[in-house]
Amino acid sequence: MVLFPCIFVFLMIELRRRHMSIFDAIESFLHSRNNFMPIRYPYSSIRKMTRNFKEKLGQGGYGSVYKGKLRSGPDVAVKILTKPKADGQDFINEVATIGRIHHVNVVQLIGYCAERSKRALVYDFMPNGSLDKYITPREGGALLSWQRKSEIALGVARGIEYLHRGCDIQILHFDIKPHNILLDENFVPKISDFGLAKLYPTDNSIVTLTAARGTIGYVAQELINRSIGPISYKADVYSFGMLLIEIAGMKRNSAAREDMSSQYFPHWIYDQFDKEKEIEVPDETHDDEKIIKKLTLVALWCIQMNPLDRPSMTKVVEMLEGEIQALQTPPRPSESLQPSPLEFNLSSSLGSTESIILFENCSDSAKVDVIVG
């Protein structure tokens, strides 16, 4: 009878100690980066700017996003992290990356809140929401012109290029997908959600990554099977290629699933392009056809199975800015690099929007070397 209270007290002390270490780690990080940090808000200000969380914009595995307004007037989006990772790493990743980035195609972090277990991130408000609702519009939803889609694709490419090459650090996003591309009032795309991002010093070329990360359907194959090739910024290139496929209208609909049920998705996409199968686009013009073909060609380069065969994002930007006549058809993904059944199942679930960390409890022997070059 005496043993049970002792165990209970021990567990409570251990739980409190663990939570204290999480808070201490976050505070230590915030103090160490104080010169780079945006505004720090008390939780009372977060409640006030959201009018006590009155207008919810969306919800995900991390928590909820609410519309708010700053005292100075601008509207903001406030992400409340109700289900943060146990070590606070998702919060740290967000603040560490976009807290120091200023680029037209990356969402701007205005401020944050870190008050004990309460954590929030305050961003510029994006009135047109995320790209996914325009790629697969609901009934009665808005449609984007092909010229607009092309501009959005180029903007996203420029944003990723900046993350890879434009900062004094190298940033790998690891979760590029339509849901994480926000659109401002002029439909300028902004890359968002850096919860899975990794930062690397420019002079650090090899990093150990113990968990594959990303969203099923957009995850590069080398993140799952290291025998395919080294992990690098090319993982983001692959995810961008899958995003381009959706923008180009070659996403998997119900009919497509039947056609490729036993075929690896990038091979299926290549077959559709190789056969010059028409993409059904209402009222398409010759210029529209050129845009679709360009987006598809660039996408096929980006989703090459071997990461060494994929272009850098700098090259991708050049391809999207250039004339279609200058683009060559990429080689079919190597048959010798066919994915395992596990990889096929992961890539066959393109519709999933859940950001995940795969194989999080990898043994040391399963660690993956990340090469940033």
pLDDT at position 211, please?
A: 62
* Pair 260, 118 in one domain: no
pLDDT at position 156, please?
A: 99
Please tell me the pTM assigned to this model: 0.79
* Pair 245, 361 in one domain: yes
The CATH number of residue 120's host domain is: 3.30.200.20
* Pair 119, 136 in one domain: no
User: Binding site: residue ranges?
Assistant: 79
Domain boundary among 125, 147, 181: 125
Domain boundary among 125, 150, 182: 125
Counting residues of the chain whose pLDDT is more than 90, the rounded percentage is 36
pLDDT digits (tens, 9 = 90+) for 271-327: 766 665 554 445 567 888 899 999 999 999 999 988 889 999 999 999 999 998 888
Q: Which domain holds residue 182?
A: 132-371
User: Binding site for ATP: residue ranges?
Assistant: 79
The number of distinct structural domains making up the chain is 2
* Pair 306, 278 in one domain: yes
Residue 3 domain flag: no
Closest CA to 288 of 134, 145, 82: 145
* Pair 105, 142 in one domain: no
Closest CA to 269 of 227, 318, 304: 304
* Pair 365, 241 in one domain: yes
pLDDT at position 188, please?
A: 98
* Pair 288, 208 in one domain: yes
Stretches in the chain below the pLDDT threshold 50: 2-20, 204-207, 252-258, 260-262, 279-281, 336, 340-352, 358-373
Report the relative pairing of strands 75-81 and 109-115 from DSSP bridges: unpaired
DSSP 242-291: HHHHHHTT-S--HHHHHHTTTS-HHHHHHHHHHTTPPP--TT--HHHHHH
* Pair 298, 167 in one domain: yes
Residue 9 domain flag: no
Residue 33 domain flag: no
Tokens found for residue 120: 């929030």
* Pair 193, 103 in one domain: no
* Pair 63, 209 in one domain: no
If DSSP states are collapsed to H, E and C, what string results for 317-336?
HHHHHCCHHHCCCCCCCCHH
Tokens found for residue 322: 């250039």
pLDDT at position 135, please?
A: 84
pLDDT digits (tens, 9 = 90+) for 153-187: 999 999 999 999 888 788 889 999 999 999 999 99
pLDDT at position 176, please?
A: 95
Rounded Cα distance, 183 and 152, in Å: 9
Tokens found for residue 24: 């201490």
- Say which of 90, 132, 175, 283 is annotated catalytic: 175
- 175 has catalytic annotation: yes
* Pair 55, 178 in one domain: no
The CATH number of residue 138's host domain is: 1.10.510.10
Domain boundary among 125, 145, 172: 125
Residue 13 domain flag: no
* Pair 236, 160 in one domain: yes
